[in-house]
Amino acid sequence: MLAELKGLNEECGVFGIWGHEQAAQLTYYALQSLQHRGQEGAGIVASTGSEITSHKGEGLVTEVFSQEQLDQLVGHGAVGHVRYTTAGGGGYENVQPLLFRSQTGSLALAHNGNLVNANALKHQLERQGSILQTTSDTEVLAHLIKRSGYENVKERVKNALTMLKGAYAFVIMTETELMVALDPNGLRPLSLGQIGDGYAVASETCAFDIIGAEYIRSVEPGELLIINDDGIRSERFTYATNRSICTMEYVYFSRPDSDIDGINVHSARKRLGKQLAAEFPIEADVVTGVPDSSISAAIGYAEAANIPYEMGLIKNRYIGRTFIQPSQELREQGVKMKLSPVRGVVEGKRVIMVDDSIVRGTTSRRIVNMLKDAGATEVHVMISSPPIKNPCFYGIDTSTHEELIASKNSVEEIRQIIGADSLSFLSVEGMVTAIGRPDSGENKGHCLACFTGKYPTEIYPDTLHPYEKELTH
């Protein structure tokens, strides 16, 4: 499904590199490969080992950086960020990496995820005299690091990290080193790679492929990596960890060529499609997927069901982003402009349409209508994940209970709303088994909260949307 139409948006991608003379240029390429994780803003901070320079702006990576600007970002260390605007709102000051300069040195920070206790910490910091420059919760970490009583930066970072709750993959850079931290639940993906004598970290491994880095391993929950001119060191800021990777990274967000904890995303999606075919066999003439993220699952379904996979929907690739607006009416118009049915494929056919998820349902209704208008005799909608019934507080913009169609309607009611001939959602167990993580434990290393309502961390009341607060009273 198309991210900007679905109402299910990733908030950010992070990248960091140390020990390469072309650090900023490579960060630029890496950010382009992470562009699907955020299109609202981008930034790079580079370090020579003694001096830090930065450039950031609103828009796509290619819009923010010219070659001239990149040439000014000199040094063998760099951190970069792409941003989707929700937490803290938009605006230049919230584009990351955030850079703080002081007498004792500079600190650049880039964050993927969402802190559930950010507001509580902000109030506490303000009471203690801190003046926050942005509305982004990322800044909280900078203030906590600054205020920590420890002598050395690493101990201050460790101490500050223990105060955070929620999802965070942080890359932090001073003039002399890069520090990388992942929250105790490992909610967001973060991988470590090697490039020449240097190291790189990225939200997704597709960033390594584009710069020629070699994947080493995932960063572990509760781990703090310190990378500098002496090499790399792994330390822990906590041992109280419980891996709960965001399942939607496998289902929908990550690029199909990325691997998460050694599992290729395209292959996982194909298995989700196969599992869907095993759980819901149905007679049909063609299987089609909603581009781009559902194509792998559709291929998997088609293979397992022995029904031809066809390109029943195509994406109009050259529609500008500005056409896609966040209002309902314009979002629906956006669907029309972004996707087209292939009449020659669907006319007179019973079509299985595989999609990765349903959030509000309006996009699904529009696509079903589109296929029927193009002559499909039946449209059976197969969703390669379970119904999303609960909002996400960990950096994914899944709106509120109120906006989630599955929180208020049964599967049959949703079927009627979207006008499909049948509608099926993959089971939670089927999804977890198909993804195939080797973890033990009830959730097999997954966060499943948007499906099950069981959140892996405490949720603070002020994290909730006003409507959600009413619900909890």
Catalytic residues: 12
Stretch that binds ligand SF4, among 152-160, 191-199, 244-252, 346-354 (CB under 6 A): 244-252
Shortest distance in whole angstroms from residue 449 CB to ligand SF4 = 4
According to the binding rule CB under 6 A, does residue 248 interact with ligand SF4?
Answer: yes
Cβ neighbors of 199 (< 8 A, separation 6 or more) are: 17, 18, 19, 178, 192, 193, 227, 232
According to the binding rule CB under 6 A, does residue 182 interact with ligand SF4?
Answer: no
Cβ neighbors of 429 (< 8 A, separation 6 or more) are: none
CA atoms within 13 A on the CB side of 58: 7
Cβ atoms of 378 and 421 closer than 8 Å: yes
Shortest distance in whole angstroms from residue 226 CB to ligand SF4 = 27
Please return the burial class of 108, using the count of CB atoms within 10 Å of its CB with bins 0-12, 13-18 and 19+: buried
- Residue from 109, 449, 459, 464 binding ligand SF4 (CB under 6 A): 449
Shortest distance in whole angstroms from residue 48 CB to ligand SF4 = 37
Residue nearest to ligand SF4 (CB): 392
Of residues 7 and 77, the one with the C-beta less far from ligand SF4: 7
Cβ neighbors of 88 (< 8 A, separation 6 or more) are: 94, 134, 135, 136, 137, 138
According to the binding rule CB under 6 A, does residue 12 interact with ligand SF4?
Answer: no
Of 102, 95, 100, nearest to 80 by C-alpha is 95
- Residue from 24, 368, 396, 418 binding ligand SF4 (CB under 6 A): 396
Of residues 169 and 450, the one with the C-beta less far from ligand SF4: 450
Burial track 178-211 (b if 16+ CB lie within 10 A, e otherwise): bbbbbbbbbbbbbbbbebeebbbbbbbbbbbbbb
According to the binding rule CB under 6 A, does residue 426 interact with ligand SF4?
Answer: no
Of 266, 258, 333, nearest to 293 by C-alpha is 266
Of residues 206 and 450, the one with the C-beta less far from ligand SF4: 450
Give the strand order in the sheet containing 41-47: 52-58, 41-47, 77-83, 12-18, 198-202, 191-195, 214-218
Of residues 27 and 390, the one with the C-beta less far from ligand SF4: 390
Shortest distance in whole angstroms from residue 133 CB to ligand SF4 = 28
Stretch that binds ligand SF4, among 65-73, 132-140, 266-274, 441-449 (CB under 6 A): 441-449
The continuous run of DSSP H or E covering 415 comes out as helix 411-418
Shortest distance in whole angstroms from residue 381 CB to ligand SF4 = 21
According to the binding rule CB under 6 A, does residue 464 interact with ligand SF4?
Answer: no
Residues 199 and 18: their CA atoms lie apart, in Å, by 6
Give the residue carrying structure tokens 């007498």.
Answer: 103
According to the binding rule CB under 6 A, does residue 406 interact with ligand SF4?
Answer: no
Stretch that binds ligand SF4, among 273-281, 391-399, 409-417, 461-469 (CB under 6 A): 391-399
According to the binding rule CB under 6 A, does residue 447 interact with ligand SF4?
Answer: yes
CB atoms inside a 10 Å sphere around CB 344: 10
Shortest distance in whole angstroms from residue 22 CB to ligand SF4 = 34
Residues 253 and 396: their CA atoms lie apart, in Å, by 10
Tokens, residue 393: 């507080």
Residues 43 and 57: their CA atoms lie apart, in Å, by 6
- Residue from 392, 418, 434, 459 binding ligand SF4 (CB under 6 A): 392
According to the binding rule CB under 6 A, does residue 272 interact with ligand SF4?
Answer: no
Shortest distance in whole angstroms from residue 448 CB to ligand SF4 = 6
The site that binds ligand SF4 (CB under 6 A) totals a number of residues, namely 11
According to the binding rule CB under 6 A, does residue 87 interact with ligand SF4?
Answer: no
According to the binding rule CB under 6 A, does residue 287 interact with ligand SF4?
Answer: no
Stretch that binds ligand SF4, among 22-30, 242-250, 303-311, 462-470 (CB under 6 A): 242-250
- Residue from 180, 450, 459, 464 binding ligand SF4 (CB under 6 A): 450
According to the binding rule CB under 6 A, does residue 112 interact with ligand SF4?
Answer: no
Shortest distance in whole angstroms from residue 436 CB to ligand SF4 = 16
- The residues pairing with 339 across neighbouring beta strands, listed in sequence order, are 315
Stretch that binds ligand SF4, among 42-50, 240-248, 343-351, 465-473 (CB under 6 A): 240-248
Q: How far is CA 454 from CA 47, 103, 169, 383, 392, in A?
A: 42, 45, 21, 21, 11
According to the binding rule CB under 6 A, does residue 170 interact with ligand SF4?
Answer: no
Give me the amino acid identity at 80: G
- Residue from 18, 280, 394, 425 binding ligand SF4 (CB under 6 A): 394
Distance of CA 472 to the CA centre of its chain: 27
Of residues 58 and 397, the one with the C-beta less far from ligand SF4: 397
Cβ neighbors of 14 (< 8 A, separation 6 or more) are: 34, 79, 80, 81, 110, 111, 112, 169, 170, 171, 190, 201, 202, 203
Shortest distance in whole angstroms from residue 359 CB to ligand SF4 = 10
Sites of contact with ligand SF4 (CB under 6 A):
187, 246-248, 392, 394, 396, 447-450
